[in-house]
Structure 1
Amino acid sequence: MQLVAENLVLERGGRNVVDGLSLRLEGGAALVLTGPNGSGKSTLLRALAGYLRPRSGSVRIIGAGEDREVGEVCHFVGHHDGIKTHLTAAENLAFWAAYLGGPADVSVRVEAALQRFALDALADIPAGYLSAGQKRRLALARLVAAERPLWLLDEPTVSLDTSSIDVLIAAINGHLATGGMAVIATHVPMALAPMQQVRLGQVVHAEAQP
């Protein structure tokens, strides 16, 4: 499977923040987006996820077995954690596991996700009572609870301590090892293999492959 973007022009606030970007991401590879605030990292991720219509250009998935929208095969974790505060940590993950990954083995996948992100002791606590770091870990845990081939992550390390960042990096590397893809906007160095880094704020033609 490949993620392909061609000649993307993305607008925000009446100006182009991404102008003429093309990229090709193959299964098993990661693309890390860097650049100053306002350079278009978040805008690009939202466009890749299908939340923002490009002014021109295209985004498509190749090799999914049938014509599918990128949103059907991706996880998007943005600045907002997307957590239902009245549900427990486990209930939040069960919702996402069933919604994004189907009804099979939901409890098994939820337990694995809670353990991976060190949330098992907090499973029955309403998410509204969690700290900022715990909420971020819960948002990221849905990556494990519902497998999808493409992960789009916008500053995923925000509110995480060093050990939690290590857990996240291990999860991403595990995803890549099974043929998954990841596009990550971050200011934090991440030891991912294989990885290509793209700095926004210029015309970009990038390829990332294992």
Structure 2
Amino acid sequence: MATRLVCWPGCCGHKKNEEETVIVEDSYPRFLLWVDAVGGFLVCTGEQIALGQAVPGTTVDIPVFGDLSRRHAKIWREDGQYVIEPTQQVCLNGKKISKRALLTDGMEILLGSNVELTFRKSHALSATARLDFKSSHRTQPSADAVLLMAESCVLGPRMKNHIVCQDWTQDVVLYRHADDLFCRASEPIEIDDRVHDRRGKLGWNSHVSGSEFALSLERV
């Protein structure tokens, strides 16, 4: 998540009539994951995720076209669990919260008066979670859902997978190792026109295909 450091006028030797100095650090990588015949997903890889209104120049990880503040809430991943911290009005399962609260699988999140999300964390072997929109709101860039990616993201036919691909017969896994992203499957896969024996390293704009699937990454 991007961090905003502000040096106010009058501090650090600045004159009072000088404007504030703002430094925005690099954010954790985000990318769009396009899965053929399934949909598009906004993938956030940071442990701290900010949600807010989609406005020009925003630094939030999940910008939403809706009646929200610019930084409406944060979601933190801690020891494989997720907590949400409200900055503005947030309700969980219909109850307004004023401090950090634990998120569990199936919990309903209401941001402001009408942005509705469902939190999903159904895969027992992965700390990755998913946010599905119940309301008609969408992210910028537009995506069908948001993935909060921990160590791995599992795609395949089983309902517990992070992305359910009903027409597939096998699972495909995206996983992180150090600062790199990899893909593995149970068959040879082609990554950016090069064939790999069941696994290979991805770039942030890679295209991956197998005998029954195709997916693409797009850095945002």
Tell me whether the two structures share a fold, i.e. TM-score over 0.5.
no
Structure richer in helix, relative to its length: 1
TM-score, reference length from structure 2: 0.31
TM-score, reference length from structure 1: 0.32
Structure richer in strand, relative to its length: 2
